[in-house]
Amino acid sequence: MKGTNDINCILDLLLDCFACSLDTGFRVYNISPLTEKTRLEFDQVGSVSQTQLLYRCNLLAVVGGGLFPQYSPNDVLIWDDLKRQFVLRYSFKSSVLAVRMRRNRIIVVLSKMLYVFSFPNTSKLLYSFATAENPNGLCEISSSTNHAVLVFPGKITGRLQLIDLMQHRDDDKSHQPVINAHENALACIALNHQGSRVATASVKGTLIRIFDTSSQQKLFEFRRGLDPATLYCMNFSLNSEYLCASSDKGTVHIFALNLTSLNRRSALSKIGLYGQYVDSVWDFTNFTIPLECACICAFTSDHTNQIFLVICINGTFHKYKFSLDGVCTRTEYGMYLCIGDNEF
């Protein structure tokens, strides 16, 4: 999502925090309870297009942009919140569209290239990969310590490239499997914590597919809706029991991956009719966000996997709980952009 209040760094599923990039700097928030952890103001950093968290550690990646950038959108700067200064800079020939980090790697995405660096000590370029045109900077990496799976658009439209960074060698193409995910260009991807499943959606936005990253086999296909839509985000629950997705329709969908019988099917299939839409598997439950504004969604680390968060571009924070009968109840609401203003 792009705008004055651009929310990114979609929630860390283990540590429950998020970052917000603004034309007045950036802010980082804790979720339980909803509090502000840190911020940089406009006079310190200018306007910011991206802020990427590295779990709850003191290092953050920042990319300039927006209306009044102090730093080039071609640069990735690493902010050390303990030292309260930038400690690393990566410069590129074109705008940085996304940054992803794990404890020993940082990945930088440009429109047609992706770079993998060692990080943070003695940082150097390890690999580079060419992609199809990737205007949304699609890229995800698993957070598991045992499985460093990297996924991003391949060179051919609609294909998804998979790289196991623990086994990758540039001269061995056998460790670079590809998934033929969609006929149209990819618009949204999500990777579970373990790196074993990847969810994809195309620019059409009607179908969501989930694949096994080891076998590249399709596990599920869900129908989000009949009308085209732009998906803002998708996220797995911590144990991959559910998948949530949000779109420009202002609706958040939840799909059941273990208890698949919870997901809805067309009533026409029960009377023996068949067809493209009749046979589709729909969401388990869904609801519309008040004001139908752009939002991101993710599950919390709650052990039931039935509590999830919705964070909207208008500065609102929503926490929901859902039951197995599909009832969603909002349990918390707040205005995160107002938090901490009296302290700074």
Are 110 and 213 contained in the same domain? yes
Last residue of a domain, one of 94, 124, 146: 94
SS3 129: strand
**200/159 same-domain check:** yes
C-beta separation of 131 from 154 below 8 A: yes
Q: Higher confidence at residue 80 or residue 15?
A: 80
Q: pLDDT per residue over 165-198, tens digit each?
A: 888 876 665 568 999 999 999 999 999 999 999 9
Return the SS3 of 55: coil
Q: Looking at residue 263, which CATH number applies to its domain?
A: 2.130.10.10
Query: Per DSSP, what are the bridge partners of residue 108?
Result: 99, 115
Q: What is the pLDDT of residue 16?
A: 80
Among 150, 101, 148, smallest CA distance to 129 is for 150
Cβ atoms 227, 272 nearer than 8 A:
no
Same structural domain, 65 and 143: no
Domain shared by 178 and 129, yes or no:
yes
The two three-digit tokens of residue 20, written as one number: 């917000």
| Alpha-carbon gap, residue 191 to 235, rounded angstroms | 7
Q: Please report which confidence band the pLDDT of residue 268 belongs to, taking 50, 70 and 90 as the band edges.
A: very low
* 3-class secondary-structure state, position 133: coil
pLDDT score of 59 more than 90: yes
pLDDT tens figures, 289-309: 877 788 899 998 777 778 889
CA distances from 80 to 6, 44, 56, 197, 319 (A): 22, 14, 12, 32, 30
Asked whether residue 40 falls in the same domain as residue 103, the answer is no
CA distance 273 to 154: 37
Q: At residue 249, what is the residue type?
A: K
Name the residue type at position 258: N
**Domain stops at, among 94, 124, 152:** 94
**Residue 215 amino acid letter:** S
Number of domains in the chain: 2
pLDDT of residue 290: 79
Domain identity same for 263 and 170 = yes
Pairing of strands 17-22, 5-8: antiparallel
- Straight-line distance from the first to the last Cα atom of the chain, in angstroms, rounded to the nearest whole number: 27
Assess whether pLDDT exceeds 90 at residue 274: no
d(CA 175, CA 195): 15
User: DSSP per residue over 94-114, as a string?
Assistant: S---EEEEETTEEEEE-SSEE
- What is the average pLDDT across 311-329? 91
Name the residue among 1, 2, 59, 60 with its Cα closest to residue 26: 60
Q: What is the mean pLDDT of the chain?
A: 88
Contact assessment for residue 17 and residue 53, using Cβ atoms and an 8 Å cutoff: yes
pLDDT tens-digit readout, 90-127? 999 999 999 999 989 999 999 999 999 999 888 999 99
pLDDT higher than 60, residue 64: yes
Do 174 and 288 reside in the same domain of the chain?
yes
Q: Which amino acid is at 196?
A: S
Yes or no: say if 266 and 309 are a contact pair by the CB < 8 Å rule.
Answer: no
Pair (86, 106) in one structural domain: no
Determine the structural domain holding residue 14 and report its residue range: 1-94
Exposed e or buried b per residue across 182-192, where buried means at least 16 C-beta atoms within 10 angstroms of its C-beta = bebbbbbbbbb
Confidence band for 1, pLDDT divided at 50, 70 and 90? very low
As given in the structure block, the two tokens for residue 61 are 């990646």
Please give the share of the chain, as a percent, with pLDDT higher than 70: 89
Last residue of a domain, one of 43, 62, 94: 94
- Other C-beta atoms lying within 10 Å of the C-beta of residue 282: 17
3-state secondary structure 233-249: EEEECCCCCEEEEEECC
221 and 139, same domain (yes or no): yes
Same domain, 84 and 104: no
**Same domain, yes or no: 319 and 173:** yes
Q: How far apart are CA 309 and CA 333, in angstroms?
A: 10
99 and 46 belong to one structural domain: no
The answer, yes or no, to whether residue 270 has pLDDT greater than 60, is no
What is the reported pLDDT for 174?
Answer: 57
